[in-house]
Amino acid sequence: MDDLIGRNLGPYRIVEQIGAGGMATVYKAFEPSMSRYVAIKVMPPHLARDPNFRARFQREAGIITMLEHPYILPIHAKSPEDEPIPYLVMRYTDGGTLVDLIASGSLTIERAVRLVGRVAEALAYAHRQGIAHRDIKPSNILIGRDGSALVSDFGIAKIMEDTFQFSGTGVAVGTPAYMSPEQAQGQTVDGRTDIYALGVVLYQAMTGVPPFSAETPLAVLLMHVNSPLRPPRQLNPAIPEALEQVILRAMAKDPADRFQTAGEMAEALTKASAPPTVVEPVKEVPVDAAAVTVPVAQTSPIAETALASDSVAARRPRWAWLAVGAGVVAVLLAALLLRGVIRPGPAPSPVALPTAVALPTAVALPTAAPAPAGAGQPTVSPAAPCASTIRFGQTITCELGSKVEIDSYTFEAKANDLVVVKIANESSSTVLKGSVWNAQREPIGGCIATASGTPGCKLPADGVYTIQIEVEVALSDPPFTYSVYIQRLS
């Protein structure tokens, strides 16, 4: 379809071809009304002439244009129903794909986990909307200008698959190197098919090669169905064991043995990439009762006699103290009675046991009572969650709990507001990255303050914007504490 170059497709001027595959051809085009470049995915001409395909395209395209997520490539528009050539208009990005990163050999384990984790988050969102991708692979994971992952081609495989099923060909649509066993066998698929494919992508990102390869696509499909998976650590021993377990579970032959949701896989990736927490065992310190000084208030001679042998008394069991206490009381009562017999006179007033007589409870090792609030012991309150919205002139202090976590703050602004966002990082061994996005998930450049200063960014329209904060480089362990401040300059 090279004849489209230099022509208009609707309101878009085709500039050049930037990609081609079995399902579509992708062009770079210019949209004069918005003064921006876009990517246009054009469907094959032979399918464009099929009225059934055109109807399915319009239906599915209408669904996928509603997907809005930070890690899904936004679709701006679809072709009108009367347009002879069906096409989708998407954000144009020139950051390459995951294929390029893997081929360059510069993809670190940490960055690979972060990118795949974001793809898993995008899939979790799409699956909640009832949409499965069906063709997850490195070439469908684009790299945005800010280095983030952007999943493209949602819905394309389903449109093609429905077309082939309608025509009676019974062809399974997808890329053999990344197809799940159930997909390869033409069985019903769901979100767990995407999880399997993402496990294949992670395997390849970690080792540099896909898990199964053969001379023919059919042979590759049969390997996905029948062949055992070679553990990725055999190819790359640097892969952490916890991360290998995530790959093996994602690529289980039986869908019931995989992560049941992409959100579970994203969470497992976060845990697998977190540094291990070392918990020191609590050591029991033996207490020598003989060495413990127990204060006794002005004891009587009788009590002092009872306490004469500290080392022996401290080792006596509690029943022994009860016996001693009973004996002391008996002696006192006897003495009092004798005193009344020898010296007759008026009946003595009732005599309370003197406090000077230490009962066994006064001798037993005391149990420390909890100090009252404010008496030297700080009261610890659970930390409140960070705010999700921010106002002009407000500073929010929060922390990122892992190297792959992303914090987001929304704010409302007017068209032509001049805005600057300042991010202060408390650790010199960590570099944080900030970005600002509009409601269409398009990045707004120049908003984040830098060391050399920034004039700020002028916002194009009224609406809600999003600030994203993430870890770019981390030489220390989480958490990563930061402060974010937003200012309207005019």
CB contact at 8 A, 429 and 471? no
Where is 457: in which H helix or E strand? strand 457-458
3-class secondary-structure state, position 361: helix
Q: Give dist(CA 30, CA 39) in Å, integer.
A: 9
Annotated catalytic, 153?
no
Strands 87-91 and 36-42: antiparallel
CA distance 158 to 226: 25
Helix (H) or strand (E) segment spanning residue 277: none
C-beta of residue 203 within 8 angstroms of C-beta of residue 246: no
Provide the b/e sequence for 248-271 (b: ≥16 CB within 10 Å).
bbbbbbebeebbebbbbbbbbbbe
Closest Cα partner for 31 from 91, 74, 83, 85?
Answer: 91
Going from the C-alpha of 40 to that of each of 45, 86, 129, 347, the distances in angstroms are 15, 10, 24, 113
Give the active site residue among 100, 135, 462, 477: 135
Token pair for 363: 């001798």
Cross-strand partners of 470? 406, 433
CB count in 10 Å sphere of residue 382: 5
φ, ψ for residue 33, nearest 5 deg: -65, -25
DSSP letter, residue 389: B
The reply to whether omega before 479 is within 30° of 0 (cis) is: yes
Q: Facing residues of 474 across strands?
A: 430
Question: Which single residue is written with the structure tokens 């059934």?
Answer: 52
Q: How far apart are CA 309 and CA 299, in angstroms?
A: 15
**Tokens, residue 281:** 């065992």
Catalytic residues: 135
